[in-house]
Structures are given as C-alpha cells and as structure tokens.
Amino acid sequence: MAAEMTVPSDAQLIKAQADLQRHSLTYLTSMSLRCAIELGIPTAIHRLGGTASLPDLMAALSLPPPKEPFLSRVLRLLAKSDALACTEDGVYSLTPLSYILVDGVLIDGEARQIAFPLAVTSRYHMESGLGLADWFKNDRALPVPSPFEHVHAAAPFDESMTLLDPETDKLFYEALAAHDHMGIGTVVRECRGLFNGLQSLTDCCGGDGTTARAIVKAFPHIKCNVLDLPKVIEKVPSDGVVNYVAGDMFHTVPPAQAVMLKLVLHFWSDEDCIKILAQCKKAIPSREMGGKVIIIDIVLGSSLETISETELLMDMLMFRINSAVK
C-alpha cells in the first residue's frame, strides 16, 4: 500500500512551485549565456572601455532598435547569474566570468573559453539530454553506449563524431582544451610545493603539451615527458621544451621521478583507473627515492556550494558522453 503523503503547507507549496519553475527554466540561463557569446556582448563591453549602457550595447552590436527591451531582459538575467555586473543606473560591466569570454583573452593555453559553453549547449548535447529517460529504459547488451551515442550513433572525441559533423567535432576538441588547460597557471603559482625538488616528470595524457610547457616555464630544471596517443602526438610540432612520447598508458608510461594525471582519471572506469595507476607506479621510483604520482582532477564533495553544484553538473556531463564512468 502506498504511504500516506503529508500535504505541504501553503508556504511550502508556493516555494515548491517557484522551485519547479526555476528548475524547469534554468536552461534559459545557459541559452542567454550562449546568446551573449554569439552576439559578442563581453567583447563589446570590453571595447566600450569596460562599462556599457543598454543603448551603448545596442549601437555597438548594431541590433535593430525594437529589440532593445528584449536585450535588456537577457542582460538582467545574466547579471543575476554573475555573468555580468550591473549598477542601479543600468550600466553593465564585466565580471571574472565574462572577462574570460572576451575575444583574445586566453587563459592557460590557446583555446577560447567560449568553446565550452558553445559545445555543451550545442544541439547534440541538448538532444542527448532529451534522450536520457529513453536511454535508461533501453536494455542494451554491454558495453552500454553513452546517452550521447544512444541518440546520435556517434561519440564525442571519436572518429564517428568527425564523420557526423566535422565543425562541431572541432568545437568539442576546442572545448576540451579550454576545459583541460584552464587552471594550470593557478596550480604552478599556488601549489609550487607539488613540483619543488622534482627533477623529471611525465605528463600522462598530456595532449599537446600545454600543461607540461607551463610547468617547465615555472620550473625550468624539470625534464618533462608528455605521453599521449600517436594520433595526438603526430600533430604536435616538436618544441625542444618537452619530450613528446607517442604511446598508450595502458601499456607503458615513460619513466620519471613523478607522473602527473591531470584531468585523466575522471574519464575512466574504476577498473581502468587501477590499470593506469599500476602503469604509473611502474614508471616512478619508490616513495623513499622521491617517486610520486600527482593527480589533479575534479573531485565530488567540495565544501563550496557553487563549486559542488558544478561538480555534480560536470559529473552528469561525463556520464552523458561516457557511461563507462561510474
């Protein structure tokens, strides 16, 4: 027999309705951010000297005058979401979030940060979100395709996506680079102790070497290897700064005093993570001889509320594109 339900109070019902509306409509915040990027609003505010009124923006973006009241509504939502700052007189300025969206601003690498919001709000991601319940009901044999593959019969960062839509495939790679590279500057500034005393380091799954080059710039005495798949290493011009090694971390990891796994483990199943860590262990000397594995990743369970919501959302993103990760 179903349990008897407690009827919420009127105050609780009003809050429940408001919460329902907010949760149902929160995608409009993402869409407004996407719209601001596509219109070039952060760059326009920057070019206008860092502050702009609504009429300034309308003129700078050459938008048709009847659209002014509608733009004001988009800007108001963005200001509420900390994507823009706004004074009581309606003067908009950049926040740290919109600063990283200005054209030409590159944080820790060559990839534009706008690639991440544009990729995750692309129709491919939206449609895979709409297919989630259908994916749950589907009883397919193992290995289970991700919700993204279930809807599109293609997977991000796989040849199938290149064939499906080469332009979006390129955007996905840029979004990955934007996501992966951001933060290494802060790590070398704020966590110097991690690298102090190291003579050599292998950046395992180091991609195009952006992270390793930032480490060598801050700690020039460290000899750095970058291990990645042959198809990635083939495209990286040798730079004389780091040593690029084409290979497979499941087979061997180039030896060094330390191996770094930055934003790697979250993509793999627990069984694969154990195999990767076993290869890393083989590549380093004992702890007594100064060997260590440095793991930098997004970990669920931070104490900061906005960050922990971001962790859960990133976890959902991972699950949507790769259901091997539990």
Ligand X SMILES: C[S@@+](CC[C@H](N)C(=O)[O-])C[C@H]1O[C@@H](n2cnc3c(N)ncnc32)[C@H](O)[C@@H]1O
**So which residues are the catalytic ones?**
266
Smallest Cα–Cα separation from 210: which of 101, 103, 106?
A: 106
**CB of 32 closer than 8 Å to CB of 42:** no
Minimum CB separation of residue 68 from ligand X in Å reads 42
Minimum CB separation of residue 207 from ligand X in Å reads 4
Minimum CB separation of residue 263 from ligand X in Å reads 5
Does position 250 interact with ligand X (CB under 6 A)? The reply is yes
Minimum CB separation of residue 180 from ligand X in Å reads 3
Q: What is the Cα–Cα distance from 52 to 251, expressed in whole angstroms?
A: 55
- The piece of 57-65, 246-254, 287-295, 305-313 that touches ligand X (CB under 6 A) is 246-254
Three-state secondary structure readout of 137-169: HCCCCCCCCCHHHHHHCCCCCCHHHHHHCHHHH
Question: Would you give the binding string for ligand X spanning residues 39-78, x where CB under 6 A is met?
Answer: ----------------------------------------
Smallest Cα–Cα separation from 37: which of 122, 109, 110?
A: 122
Among 264, 280, 283, 321, which residue sits at the site for ligand X (rule: CB under 6 A)? 264
Minimum CB separation of residue 267 from ligand X in Å reads 6
**Pick 58 or 205: Cβ nearer ligand X:** 205
Q: What is the Cα–Cα distance from 134 to 128, expressed in whole angstroms?
A: 10
Q: Give the C-alpha distances (Å, rounded to integers) separating 11 from 14, 15, 18, 209, 266.
A: 5, 6, 11, 55, 41
Sign of the dihedral through C-alpha 197, 200, 205, 208: positive
**Pick 263 or 284: Cβ nearer ligand X:** 263
**Pick 19 or 234: Cβ nearer ligand X:** 234
Judged by CB under 6 A, the chain residues 206 through 245 that form the site for ligand X are: 206-207, 210-211, 227-229, 232
Helix pair angle (123-130, 305-321), 10° resolution: 90
**Pick 257 or 322: Cβ nearer ligand X:** 322
- The piece of 22-30, 139-147, 258-266, 280-288 that touches ligand X (CB under 6 A) is 258-266
Does position 14 interact with ligand X (CB under 6 A)? The reply is no
Does position 181 interact with ligand X (CB under 6 A)? The reply is yes
Does position 249 interact with ligand X (CB under 6 A)? The reply is yes
**CB of 195 closer than 8 Å to CB of 292:** no
**Pick 20 or 300: Cβ nearer ligand X:** 300
SS3 (DSSP) at 89: coil
Q: What is the Cα–Cα distance from 186 to 209, expressed in whole angstroms?
A: 17
Q: What length does the chain have?
A: 326
Binding site for ligand X (CB under 6 A): 180-181, 205-207, 210-211, 227-229, 232, 248-250, 262-264
